Structure 1
Amino acid sequence: MGDDMPGVPAGPVTSRVPGGAAMAAAPQGRPQRPEQRRAADIIRLLTLYRPLLDAFVIDFFTEDLWAQLPAAWQPALASATPVQLAGLLGGRGGPGAAWPLSLLAFAAAARALGFPRGCPCPPCPPCPPCQSSRLHPLLRRHVKPKKQHEIQRLGKLLRRLSRATGCQRVVDVGAGQGHLSRFLAFGLGLGVTAVESDGRLVGLAERFDRELLRELGKSRALAHRGHPLTPRAPQHIAGRLDPAAPWGEFLLPPDPPGPGPAARNPLGGPGGSEDGGRVLVTALHACGDLSPALLCHFARSPAVAAVALVGCCYMKLSTAPQQPPGYPLSASVAALPGHQLSYRAREAACHALEEYQGRLRGGSAHLRAHCYRAVLESLIRAADPGKRHLGLQPGRKAHTLSFPQYAQLGLSLAGLDPAGVPLDSGAVGAMLEQQHKVVAFCTLGQLLAPAVETLILLDRLLYLREQGFHCALVPLFNPRFSPRNLVLVAARTPLATALAKDAEDGHSSEDEDLEEAESPREWQNPQ
């Protein structure tokens, strides 16, 4: 099933997902550090259930994925309501649910090995965030509520890192429209260099800066909760990160190259940054290989005192040995048999588990989209066996359509004539009646997603451990509306001060104090 990566040991994996078999034996030379043991345990779990992890839900009918589940699981999952599936996903049970012990063991292992995501709220459908009252009104302009929440929380963490390290300069890589950079500069008074590869976004960020400066000039006394803005705009640079370059050659020209002089390296040369001091480096939702590349630059560059990174788009990580490191990054994970992650597994790590759980509890119409797409894949393959996994996007509101309407759109996108494909046949109706099974299968994949993300983040943490740095993983954002909420923090000095509760930041349901995700000895202090 799926696209298994070469080199994955056969071990206990068969053509069927194992139904509660004992975990595979630990490799010889069991790692001693807690994070190494956790990585090894995750790999053993993923190896046991790799057929489930690597399965594409759109192949549900074409590859008969339901039949590949353990026989003991099938009746319980087939009769489960969406609310009961949400309970299985959240570990809180469900009304009237009677799950096989092997299924409960699988779910418990997956939840235990995934990194705690820090959601303090009781289970309920996800609610959209509102405007952040903790951000100055001028800093909320052009910024969606989700991003307001993220920049406010990450900004406070960076201010703590600044105080703990004595660094007043921040380099924001992949800055986009500059929302985080503006909060750091105007709101927190830090010196900020914003690096973005898209010259159009750089221009837009500079325009937003000018707008804010004009408004600030009109009412210099304007304050928010007693904290006036600082008239200090970020410096914007158009440039691309070169993952393979020495640390003194941090940037490449933007692609395509823009007008003006070549960008100066914000990390500077051997003497430090361009102003002679050290810097903090941050990236909010650094896509694919950007996070590993920044960690490598941090390890090589004495000008970088600390980093705080939030990754995303794990499926874009490079995995070939001859390419710049993406995954695995650490020697510890690379040495573990079965550590390889397929494209499908890395894509699963990007799922929004809390959002899916909310859809299950609310019986959202979005749930039918999985079945629609699986039926459409079956129709496409029947009409043209050469067409497979085409990446069709019938639209964001496709779940609101009837299946014939959805299929007509999808078939047209696939280059097929909808008139030549029977959409009201008994076979199509029989597949649509199995929507509950498709949703149950998706739920099993959702259970494994946090464990995969944890393995990827543990690999990065272990890489930093191997270099002798202090590091921590912090669940900083509310995962209900910011699924990639785990921030990797690393520094050349201890992090206890930066991650300690700070009374001046206050405490509210919107901006809770930073909490350690695990014990300080396990996650923060390098041994």
Structure 2
Amino acid sequence: MAAAARPTPHLQQHLEQSPEQRRAADIIRLLTLYRPLLDAFVIDFFTDGLWAQLPPAWQPALASATPVQLAGLLGGCGGPGAAWPLSLLAFAAATRALAFPRGCPGGSPRPPCQSSRLHPLLRRHVKPKKQHEIQRLGKLLQRLSQATGCERVVDIGAGQGHLSRFLAFGLGLSVTAVESDGRLVGLAERFDQELLGELGKTRGLGHKRPPLRPLTPRAPQHVAGRLDPAAPWEEFLLPPNPPGPGPAAQNPLGGPGGSEDGGQPCRGRRGLGGLLLHEAVDRPTAPRLPLGYPLSTSVAALPGHQLSYRAREAACHALEEYEGRLRGGSPHLRAHCYRAVLESLIRAADPAKRHLGLQPGRKAHALSFPQYAHLGLPLAGLDPAGVPLDSGAVGAMLEQQHKVVAFCTLGQLLAPAVETLILLDRLLYLREQGFHCALVPLFNPRFSPRNLVLVAARTPLATVLAGLDKDIEEWDSSKDEGLGEAESPRGEQSPHSPEHRPK
């Protein structure tokens, strides 16, 4: 009987890896193959001849593709009349297979509306999209609290405190809300005071529908401060003052508040996530590692794991939103071509000026290109009168808008894989520190593109995540389509009122 062949060292190492490690390695191999595409800036489309750098077999198909066909390529559902090269189909299939599942949108395709399952006082000042997010995240945090016995929450980058208010008033948790922008801290405290003042006036409000959990008069504690990477762990976990309203506590985090001094006022800012993970797991004597990517030794050991700034920026793109713009033929799509043409004109006038970060206006797509250029060129220190805006060369570039959009679509295909790699790196880092971890597609990606939540605890997460989908389904704002203005809290417009109808 012949002996079974032993696996090669490379295969043996692959078999010993966890599924997350194998996925991270596969993503890195894919990104290595298409690194020029991943690292390219769309504004360099004309200056660097990006179209010519695409595989020759892809160029004719992409050049003749309609926006709807590009949307089909992006969404993996084909497109009417599209005949893609097999290598392009394989590329698109690989990006989708390696990206972490983002969940099925489900429910109504319309944006979330006012939620009757969220107390009216907690809906005040909160847009429906945010209601959708704080309900679902709050429900997950409530489950974590029950499973771990921990009732104290620190909300970093709390902004106006909408999530903190829901956790404190709505779920009865002890919450410390940390925000570097003192103006937002003051606004959050004002909203807390408004809610406390209304608690005695709103008994019975909202009980036309299923009974709501009564609110507790337990306001979050607000701290105007920022995270200091050099501060020891003990300073970050100072005990909060007794719950209740009052002025913002003195910053215990290593410096005065305010966005001018390097604070992170938003929970979603790049770099903040890595810092929070370090604060969660590092001992005071542990060596400080880079705060961004990679964090885990697993990913850092993989050849070719490096990600450029452009690649990391791509991870922030909203694939679902871009697919919707393609299907709807949105005029926003021309903004990519406008900016690429403007970059070409700037570089022709002054080669030293490159990637200046110009923002000619949020509604630039609604302008003609000469109007757009008259706004953008002065921002680059150039006089529009000295730049030929109506030349044949400019017209030829503007006629290639469809190619620019196709090139952007390829970048969008890679974005979820990059995001998955970064999230896997953070999950593996926490697992290396002894945490139980999971990545949960908590929000509807159609409304909240950054919908993957990294959950970590010292105890197993099976009981926390079991039945979570069914649990939060009861809170799904897509079921609250009939909430009219009369049932909305004072000072808040219903999405069905004239002010919210499509113009």
**How many residues are paired up?**
446
TM-aligned CA deviation for residue 132 of structure 1: 2.7
Q: Does 1:298 align with 2:280?
A: yes
Secondary structure of 2:230's counterpart equals coil
Runs of 4+ in structure 1 off by over 4 angstroms are 25-28, 502-506
Q: How does 1:174-253 map to 2 (within 5 A)?
A: 174-223=157-206, 225-226=210-211, 227-250=213-236
Counting helix residues as a fraction of each chain, which structure ranks higher? 2
Q: Distance in 2 between matches of 1:497 and 1:28?
A: 33
Q: Does 1:475 align with 2:441?
A: yes
- Contact 1:78 1:440 (C-alpha < 8 Å) held by counterparts: yes
Q: Does 1:45 align with 2:30?
A: yes
Q: Distance in 1 between matches of 2:317 and 2:471?
A: 35
TM-aligned CA deviation for residue 341 of structure 1: 0.5
Q: Which moved more, 1:127-136 or 1:54-63?
A: 127-136
- Contact 1:61 1:374 (C-alpha < 8 Å) held by counterparts: yes
With structure 2 as the length reference, what TM-score do the two structures score?
A: 0.84
TM-aligned CA deviation for residue 505 of structure 1: 4.9
Q: Distance in 2 between matches of 1:298 and 1:323?
A: 13
Secondary structure of 1:170's counterpart equals strand
Deviations along 1:92-118, whole A, 9 cap, x unmatched? 100000000000010000111111111
Q: Does 1:448 align with 2:431?
A: no
Q: 2:135 aligns with which of 116, 137, 152?
A: 152
Structure 2 gap segments, 5+ residues each: 1-8, 239-246, 254-264, 480-503
Gap change, CA 1:480 and 1:373, over 3 Å in 2: same
Q: How does 1:84-483 map to 2 (within 5 A)?
A: 84-121=69-106, 127-223=110-206, 225-226=210-211, 227-250=213-236, 262-263=250-251, 285-300=267-282, 324-483=290-449
Q: 1:80 aligns with which of 49, 54, 65?
A: 65
Q: Distance in 1 between matches of 2:146 and 2:413?
A: 39
TM-aligned CA deviation for residue 294 of structure 1: 1.8
Gap change, CA 1:110 and 1:431, over 3 Å in 2: same
Q: Distance in 2 between matches of 1:262 and 1:165?
A: 29
The amino acid that maps onto 1:297 is E
Gap change, CA 1:105 and 1:168, over 3 Å in 2: same
With structure 1 as the length reference, what TM-score do the two structures score?
A: 0.80
Gap change, CA 1:242 and 1:174, over 3 Å in 2: same
Deviations along 1:390-413, whole A, 9 cap, x unmatched? 111011110000111011111111
Gap change, CA 1:286 and 1:361, over 3 Å in 2: closer
Q: Which moved more, 1:400-409 or 1:321-330?
A: 321-330
Secondary structure of 1:161's counterpart equals helix
Q: Could you say which structure has the greater relative contact order, defined with CA pairs below 8 angstroms and 6 or more residues apart?
A: 2
Counting strand residues as a fraction of each chain, which structure ranks higher? 1
Secondary structure of 2:112's counterpart equals coil
The amino acid that maps onto 1:83 is V
Secondary structure of 1:361's counterpart equals helix
Q: Distance in 2 between matches of 1:347 and 1:445?
A: 11
Over the residues paired in the alignment, what is the CA RMSD in angstroms?
Answer: 2.6
Q: 2:47 aligns with which of 37, 45, 62?
A: 62
TM-aligned CA deviation for residue 72 of structure 1: 0.3
Q: Which moved more, 1:237-246 or 1:359-368?
A: 237-246
- Contact 1:241 1:251 (C-alpha < 8 Å) held by counterparts: no
Paired position in structure 1 for 2:487: none
TM-aligned CA deviation for residue 285 of structure 1: 3.3
Q: Distance in 2 between matches of 1:75 and 1:148?
A: 45
Gap change, CA 1:335 and 1:286, over 3 Å in 2: same
TM-aligned CA deviation for residue 134 of structure 1: 2.5
Q: Distance in 2 between matches of 1:261 and 1:449?
A: 40
- Contact 1:153 1:511 (C-alpha < 8 Å) held by counterparts: no
Deviations along 1:22-75, whole A, 9 cap, x unmatched? xxx979943511000000000000011000000000000001100000000000
Gap change, CA 1:438 and 1:286, over 3 Å in 2: closer
Paired position in structure 1 for 2:483: none
Gap change, CA 1:336 and 1:153, over 3 Å in 2: same
The amino acid that maps onto 2:278 is C
